[in-house]
Amino acid sequence: MPNRCIRPGDNPDLTKERETCTFDTDELAANLYGSRRNLERRREISQKVSADPDFADPIPHEFLSREKAVDATAKKSKVIFQKWKNLVKPEEMPHLVNEAVGIQGFPLALHHAMFLPSLNSQADDDLAAEILPRAKAYEIIGTYAQTEMGHGTNLRELETTATYDKTTQEFVINTPTRKAMKWWPGNLGKMSNYAVVCCQLIIDGKNLGPHNFLVQLRCEKTHEPLPGITVGDIGPKIAYNTTDNGFLALDNVRIPRRQMLMKHAKVSPDGTYTPPIHAKLNYGAMVHVRAHMIYSHGHLLARAAAVATRYSAVRRQGRIENGGPEVQILDYQTQQHRIFPQIARAYAILFAGQEVRDQYAKTLEGIANGQADLLPDLHALTSGLKSVVTFMGGLGIEQCRMSCGGHGYSDASGLPKLYGVQIGGCTYEGENMVMLQQTARYLMKGVKWAEQGKSLSPSIAYLGKKSGKSLIGLKGGDITREHEAILETLEHTARRLAIDASQLWEKRIKGGECKERAWNGVTVEMNRASRVYTRLFMARSFHRRLLSSPSSIRSVLSDLFSLYLHYECVDMAQHLLEDGHCNGGQIQYLKKRLYEDLTTLRPNAVSLVDSFEISDRELNSVLGRRDGNVYEALFQWAKQSELNYTDVLPAVKNYMMPMMEENRSKL
């Protein structure tokens, strides 16, 4: 079967890998990206970005100071949002951005991720008509300023206030304390001149909770901060260092009434407050990002898996048997066990990410028509997925990094930066432990609804089913039935954990604790139930994708799905065993099947990551290059280190040489 990545001059080990491929890599890539046309567009964009001199990097970003890297990123962003803007469709933008500027953020990241979505979904018609065309035309740059130095998770306790002044029909926006400063918002520090600012709405002394307001921060002509506004960058971070995460203090800044985002909640000129149709519609921008970050985080793991797999195919070290050449490290079972599950998980996350994006679009449609009934399910699912995927992705990228040995520790591998970006997702958009509890709240309701025989939405329909005996290992070689048996076992486990957590909670309440304290006593179990609910959704979503895939890729997807299921079950063995639903023999069976999967997938490993269709520029990894010629590239990369601009560094001349000289003269 063709792997279309084969080219003359490639590392022969990689070529051999590609020649053993049993499926059409283009078919799988087209399936992943939705169609042949999408795949072609993806390639076209990659090629055009590489050929555009405006995107050329004189030296790799890794060797730039933060200020220079921010500068280079801003320069490229201008090219994207002026020259390229009309050449790509909105849904192609993230790929263009990744390709042209990389993954560490760019001046318009929050403008796209949160400012525009907040205005789109929360501004009333008048404000939207005034501000959206300007924002969409990049006449202004905006961000989303919610988190404060003292509060990020607990939005109810945010301190920034928007007090309505009826006499002038204005809101007075104020930062009352040091820890009430907005702290962290992306692109707030230096790039944005506007922000959606989340404040406690105060009318006639009554606090009506967090609401969003459009605030101008900087002069449109000079970009200087406006009077009453203190704004700046919070300094370097683990990653995202081309993003100016910022701080902001507002000293009784007045804005017109109509700059409150009033599509859902409203304040009339006389100060009458009308609540929204759903209390949490003000939190919509967060749901937007959570729904979209699943896919983009799947892509981060895909990149790491591509780097580790390709490098492991060209890296030869040690021997499995005496005699013969050194082996490709990809032939070590431990290496396969480290990397192949990451390939499978990356596909699983990407598939789930696509499903949840569709679900988000449907929910938004409903809200536009005055129906918010799909929101609770979406909120539970996105909260769970966001938490599971970012954590799983972080672990996976770290496994990939370690699997590349010493070179994985170098920035040349691209893996440290990937890791830094990925784990940011464990914190932003709601800290993972907190978001899993949001999912758990929904599960607890689901358990009750199931007990009462009420109808359940698809993502929790399993709560209403009855468990049979686990059929894992008893399905006699039929792979389709084995997949079903495992999915049913996962359903049982997810149901059982939710019911157990619910009973533990109830027991504590019956024991005299208030609901909230009792909740805190069972949150580890609650979050466990949420994780398994989420992992069940991911498995089901992968299964749906497998069943709808064309026959040309069905077999390789089925192999990958088998590995995915076996790995997840072994990883969750404790949960499967705890209530005796599975026995030790069944776990041994799953492990045996997993080791078989590693062998089955080995010939297709490189081709599976080739189907992620990530260009060399986007991958930005010397180890993961498509042609596999890593050693020469590694040397060329290192030569660009600024420490190599001169043979004798001033640091050596000024300190080390005099020290050695002084010590020598003492002898």
Ligand X SMILES: CC/C=C\C/C=C\C/C=C\C/C=C\C/C=C\CCCC(=O)SCCNC(=O)CCNC(=O)[C@H](O)C(C)(C)COP(=O)(O)OP(=O)(O)OC[C@H]1O[C@@H](n2cnc3c(N)ncnc32)[C@H](O)[C@@H]1OP(=O)(O)O
Ligand Y SMILES: Cc1cc2nc3c(=O)[nH]c(=O)nc-3n(C[C@H](O)[C@H](O)[C@H](O)COP(=O)(O)OP(=O)(O)OC[C@H]3O[C@@H](n4cnc5c(N)ncnc54)[C@H](O)[C@@H]3O)c2cc1C
Rounded Cα–Cα distance for residues 65 and 44 (Å): 31
- 100 vs 145, beta carbon nearer ligand Y: 145
Rounded Cα–Cα distance for residues 39 and 30 (Å): 5
- 245 vs 309, beta carbon nearer ligand Y: 245
Query: Which H helix or E strand runs over 201?
Result: strand 194-203
**Is there a binding annotation on residue 186?**
yes
What is the distance between the terminal CA atoms of the chain, rounded to a whole angstrom? 72
Q: How far is the CB of 149 from ligand Y (least distance, A)?
A: 9
Q: How far is the CB of 270 from ligand X (least distance, A)?
A: 27
Q: How far is the CB of 395 from ligand Y (least distance, A)?
A: 17
**Which is nearest to 243 in space by CA: 143, 147, 151?**
143
What are phi and psi for residue 52, nearest 5 degrees? -85, 115
Q: How far is CA 619 from the centre of its chain?
A: 16
**One-character DSSP codes across 54-102:** GG--SS-GGGS-HHHHHHHHHHHHHIIIIIIGGGS-GGGHHHHHHHHH-
* H runs (alpha helix) in 186-283: none
**573, 587 in Cβ contact below 8 A?**
yes
Binding mask 240-269 for ligand Y (x = CB under 6 A): x----x------------------------
Q: How far is the CB of 550 from ligand Y (least distance, A)?
A: 39
Options 27, 429, 491, 568, the catalytic residue:
429
Among ligand Y, ligand X, none, the one that 433 touches (CB under a kind-dependent 5 to 8 A) is: ligand Y
Binding mask 84-123 for ligand Y (x = CB under 6 A): --------------------------x-------------
Tell me if 60 contacts ligand Y by CB under 6 A: no
Q: How far is the CB of 191 from ligand Y (least distance, A)?
A: 12
Burial label for 293, CB within 10 Å (0-12, 13-18, 19+), is buried
The one among 22, 35, 82, 153 contacting ligand Y by CB under 6 A: 153
Per the annotation, the verdict on 429 as an active-site residue is yes
Tell me the window of 122-130, 390-398, 428-436, 536-544 that interacts with ligand Y (CB under 6 A).
Answer: 428-436
SS3 571: helix
Tell me if 431 contacts ligand Y by CB under 6 A: yes
- 428 vs 564, beta carbon nearer ligand X: 428
Tell me if 424 contacts ligand Y by CB under 6 A: yes
- How far is it between the farthest Cα atoms of the chain? 90
**163, 218 in Cβ contact below 8 A?**
no
The structure tokens listed for 75 are 């320069």
**Is there a binding annotation on residue 163?**
no
- 384 vs 424, beta carbon nearer ligand Y: 424
Q: How far is the CB of 647 from ligand Y (least distance, A)?
A: 39
Tell me if 144 contacts ligand Y by CB under 6 A: yes
Tell me the window of 4-12, 150-158, 277-285, 457-465 that interacts with ligand Y (CB under 6 A).
Answer: 150-158
| Residue nearest to ligand Y as judged by C-beta position | 152
Name the residues that contact ligand X, by CB under 6 A: 90, 93-94, 97, 109, 112-113, 144, 146-147, 152-156, 186, 280, 283, 286-287, 289, 375-376, 379, 428-430, 434, 438, 441
**Which is nearest to 243 in space by CA: 73, 398, 368?**
73
Q: Which residues ranging from 190 to 249 are in contact with ligand Y (CB under 6 A)?
A: 240, 245
Number of H helices, E strands in the chain: 25, 11
The one among 2, 60, 94, 152 contacting ligand Y by CB under 6 A: 152
Among ligand Y, ligand X, none, the one that 289 touches (CB under a kind-dependent 5 to 8 A) is: ligand X
Place of tokens 């007045």: 254
Q: How far is the CB of 209 from ligand Y (least distance, A)?
A: 16
The one among 77, 118, 146, 363 contacting ligand Y by CB under 6 A: 146
Rounded Cα–Cα distance for residues 122 and 211 (Å): 10
Burial label for 666, CB within 10 Å (0-12, 13-18, 19+), is exposed
SS3 213: strand
Q: Residues forming the annotated binding site for FAD?
A: 147, 186
Active-site residue numbers? 429
List residues near ligand Y by CB under 6 A: 110, 144-147, 151-153, 184-186, 240, 245, 424, 427-431, 433-434
